[in-house]
Structure 1
Amino acid sequence: MGAFPNTQPLFVSLAQQLRDRIAAGEWSRGERLPPEATLAATHAVGINTVRRAVGMLVDDGVVVRRQGSGTYVSARWAGTSPVIGVIVPSHSYYFPTVVEGITEVARAAGVTLRIVSSEYDDALEIRRIRELLAAGCSGLLITPTLHLTDPTARLDLLRALPIPVVLMERMPTDSPPDDGLSAVCTDVVAGGYAAVRHLARQGRRRIGFLGRRDTATADAALRGYRRAIDGLTLVDLPDAVVRRDSWDEAALADYAHRARSAGLDGVVCLGDREATALLPHLRRAGLSLPDDLALVAFDDEEAADAPLPLTAVSPPKREIGRLAASTLLRMLGRGGDRTPVRMLLQPVVRERASSARAQPRVLQPLA
């Protein structure tokens, strides 16, 4: 048979090949597959690889095992793969890695994806949802624009959809304890806390915060920062906490002078682009990094490519996609387990030149 791709485990590739053979009609519904030993010899793999591949097909409802008899194509299998809709706010920043995680799981399960972007446009997001429903999608993975619209109305709309929905990187707030929406998200509060703790471990005591007000993670990152300032008994500097809808050159220059006059020795910056733009202004204000002041960015999209590589809080983007897709596939699987799931994944701090002279290393997640 065909060669296996070297980018995924053998059993995943074998499962897809067997699925394709079933879809092509090589074995019809109710027909028994060849014995595992025969499949192993045909595909030049070990018996354990065959068992794991067949196990994936069992989990997906493609085949059924009958003790003492063999493995049969499920009588319920329709022969076509489900279609999952994916709506993310951007095709270019942050979310491509999330989509990679989704794609990895979907490919292994033989699922077709329809991936579209809302472009952070509330009205376009509504159209995208309608288009995916009209296209016959069986389930929806979505990062909704909750910070740009009435979040209650948008969440109510998603709850009312006739297909299962899993939110990504957006956790419903102020919802009832028995809310049925599932969500897989980065723990942004933990990320803000970890950024401050990273600086505090280096002896930094006067730490400011520069951020945006109009992003979905803005409030949570600030909460994490404030919890760390209080919990680690650092100097509370309200005037060093500044948030704006956007940061132009004049505002960045003002913050750099504020940092110098306040004697800051650390800054947490949301996000990468703002931190990169702040660098020349800090130098013009007479501050040397990381000797006088250490800087930690948030998102880790462009931090490593900054003129001075930036230490950054790095969300587990690929794993967010993997877990969200796996959760939705469980809902779509045989039996349709719709048990709501809420997952918070902790980010790590990737240390670079903006906060330490040491070689880059990945700090452990928060305990």
Structure 2
Amino acid sequence: MKSTGERDSFLRGPKYLHVAKRLRVNIENGLWAPGTQLPVERELADTLAVSVNTVRRAVGELVTEGIVQRRQGAGTFVTPLAELTAEPAGAPGGRRLVGVLVPSTTYYYPRVVDGIQRVLREAGVGVVLASSKYDLDVERDELQAMRDSGVQGLLLVPNLHIVGDPQAYVDGLRELPLPYVLVERRPPAPAPDDPTPYVGTDHSGGVCLALRHLHGLGHRRVGHLGRSRTGTSALVARGFDDAATLLGLDIVDGAVSRRGVWAAADIAAYMRTCAAAGVTAVFCHGDRDAAALVVEARRQGLTVPDDLAVVAYDDEVAEVGDVPLTAVSPPKSEVGALAAQLLLSRMESGEGALCHRVEIQPRLVVRASCGAARAATQV
């Protein structure tokens, strides 16, 4: 008996398209009349000798074409005759659609979405955009809503940092009946053969760029005012620790601190610790915290950058302060564009698509806060 992976291996092209054709013919021949329910996916998979995932993708094709309808909590039904001539919901003129799920539409991700939309627009593909608002329940509901809308691919930024078992969550995405690509997320503990495709920023490499720059300016005692439990905080923190070791930086107690939220009193106490320990530079995860640190340093009688060099991570609002901040600038638009290109390729290739894991290194944009604005503008 053939294994699931070997069944129908003689067919040319993606297997799910052949299954979709088979289901389409059965509907046209009257096996399932308009308005009637299709058998459940497991039954169809056993009947057709294919995997459940293949059936899901095949049914998804028919949903997009408007031949069948998924009804949440009820099943999949052949579209009633009165609706067969109508266009699929959300897909005017049969236009392909891609679902994009991000945690926020106000910080960091707007530029990622811009890159996605630019590529999809050029390809004639529409976008269904949703925000999870960093809420797992909202993320689940929005993901289901996009699937129900008939999208043919997904670009996902899941909230892995607040999931109990993030690797299990990523593994569960393989059950999706349509192609997907993770954006600015990657499997946290993948097996060597993990097939999850992703495009993201090399956050650790960006931190190393910043610390190498500070090291080149003569700073040896460098602090880290960091964040915890954000989507990128673990990678940034690891990048700082690895780069500090690589460069032989002198890390003192209290100068490396990470919090979920930095209140004004916390930043004041941190600044006092750094001043007492002779810290001459601080790397901050987040433009706003870096700007607050500059204000607090001045309040305590220090000048930036003469007494304290400051480098931020994110480069969202780094240039707008009284002292423009040197910042690691993630390639947000480029990440979005490349993820969209990869997804389009996967949509065309079907189950034969290769797995791509792409990381793009950020730039370091040098401004006044590290005292080297005249030496270079970008590294």
TM-score range relative to shorter protein: 0.7 to 0.9
Query: C-alpha deviations, 1:74-123, integer Å up to 9, x for none?
Result: xxxxx733110000111110000001100110011000110111111111
- Which letter maps to 1:135? S
1:296 is aligned to 311
Number of aligned positions between the proteins: 287
- Correspondence for 2:136 among 122, 135, 145: 122
TM-score (norm 1): 0.75
- Correspondence for 1:259 among 274, 285, 296: 274
1:57 is aligned to none
Offset at residue 176 of structure 1 (A): 1.1
Q: In structure 2, how many angstroms separate the alpha carbons of the residues matched to 1:184 and 1:232?
A: 28
Q: Does 1:203 align with 2:218?
A: yes
Q: Which runs of 4+ in 1 moved over 4 A?
A: 334-337, 359-362
Q: Does 1:82 align with 2:96?
A: yes
- Which letter maps to 2:362? P
**Secondary structure class of the residue paired with 1:303:** coil
1:160 is aligned to 175
- Which letter maps to 1:212? R
Instruction: Please give the residue correspondences for 1:181-200 in structure 2 after superposition, counting only pairs within 5 Å.
Output: 181-200=196-215
Relative to structure 1, the CA distance from residue 360 to residue 300 in structure 2 (aligned partners, 3 Å threshold; closer, same or farther) is farther
- Which letter maps to 1:220? L
2:366 is aligned to 351
Q: Is the 8 A contact 1:260 1:285 kept in 2?
A: no
Q: Is the 8 A contact 1:266 1:293 kept in 2?
A: yes
Instruction: Please give the residue correspondences for 1:1-367 in structure 2 after superposition, counting only pairs within 5 Å.
Output: 80-150=94-164, 151-333=166-348, 337-356=352-371, 358-359=373-374, 361-364=376-379
- Which letter maps to 1:329? L
- Which letter maps to 1:87? L
- Which letter maps to 1:343? V
Q: Is the 8 A contact 1:183 1:343 kept in 2?
A: yes
Query: C-alpha deviations, 1:31-63, integer Å up to 9, x for none?
Result: xxxxxxxxxxxxxxxxxxxxxxxxxxxxxxxxx
Q: CA RMSD in A?
A: 1.7
- Which letter maps to 1:114? V
TM-score (norm 2): 0.73
- Which letter maps to 1:115? L
Segment drifting more, 110-119 vs 210-219: 210-219
Q: In structure 1, how many angstroms separate the alpha carbons of the residues matched to 2:129 and 2:377?
A: 31
**Secondary structure class of the residue paired with 1:343:** strand
- Which letter maps to 2:313? F
Relative to structure 1, the CA distance from residue 335 to residue 183 in structure 2 (aligned partners, 3 Å threshold; closer, same or farther) is closer
Q: Is the 8 A contact 1:213 1:243 kept in 2?
A: yes
Offset at residue 335 of structure 1 (A): 5.7
Segment drifting more, 88-97 vs 355-364: 355-364
Q: In structure 2, how many angstroms separate the alpha carbons of the residues matched to 1:166 and 1:360?
A: 39
Paired-residue identity, %:
44
Q: Which runs of 5+ in 1 are unaligned?
A: 1-78
- Which letter maps to 1:134? D
Q: In structure 1, how many angstroms separate the alpha carbons of the residues matched to 2:254 and 2:138?
A: 38
**Secondary structure class of the residue paired with 2:243:** helix
**Secondary structure class of the residue paired with 1:288:** coil
Q: In structure 2, how many angstroms separate the alpha carbons of the residues matched to 1:120 and 1:254?
A: 29
Query: C-alpha deviations, 1:164-203, integer Å up to 9, x for none?
Result: 1100001112111111210101011111111111111111
